[in-house]
Amino acid sequence: MNDKMIQGWNRTDICEKRRLAKQQMGKRPVVITDIECIIKEGLKQEKFQEKSYEIYRLEGLKKIREWEQKHKEEVSRSVFISFDKNNRVAVVGAGEKRLTFSKVEEDSKHTVAALMAGCNCSWPKDDEKKVIRIVFDLDGIHRNEVKNLLRCRDGVEFLIGEILIEKDVPIIDTLSHRNWKYEYWEDMKRKKMFSNILKT
């Protein structure tokens, strides 16, 4: 399968992203505690043991940034979920570089901020900002570093997003977690690239 077939959602038409974002606004937000339960159950179905990951709920921008500074290694192998002011999921992302709360006027190329502006929603106040971080035991960051997709950060990011979508959790930047085309993901499932995902 060539790179053109693998390339992910981030190269998709911005108009389609806006359409999906507005569609999500018609759905009721899911409370954070329920999202945590959905994630745990979804990971259990994929045979993740609880000891292979840890979920952190961080509140307040100052505490979020302090945790990131203190746990840089954990941040590098984590998936995050950020929320808008109405506790709707804004984006599912990974690592340290994409968790920002920029406004669209500050960065017109920042997709999440642009989508939020188009939906008339915004980030919470700094002391009310909320983030979930799921830190995984991984072997690498990208798919070319591992034999199994669920042993790399890009893979678990994709998985977390799909778990939420399957349970109809509204996400403003709906498919930002898709680092590859969905067809590639399904092809890897058929080839059993998800088996034996845990270290013994």
Q: What is the pLDDT confidence band of residue 67, given thresholds at 50, 70 and 90?
A: very high
Could you tell me where the beta strands, DSSP code E, fall in 84-139? 89-94, 130-136
Q: How far apart are the first and last CA of the chain?
A: 31
What lies within 8 Å, CB to CB, of 19 at 6+ separation is none
The pLDDT of residue 104: 59
* Per-residue confidence (pLDDT) for residue 196, from 0 to 100: 44
8 Å CB contact between 155 and 140: no
DSSP characters over 134-166:
EEE--SBSSGGG-SSGGGBHHHHHHHHHHHHHH
Task: Band the pLDDT of 192: cuts 50, 70, 90.
Answer: low
Tens digit of pLDDT for each residue in 89-106? 999 999 876 677 766 555
The predicted model gives 127-152 an average pLDDT of 90
Does the structure show a pLDDT above 70 at 181? yes
What pLDDT sits at residue 110? 59
- Average pLDDT for residues 42-53, to the nearest whole number? 92
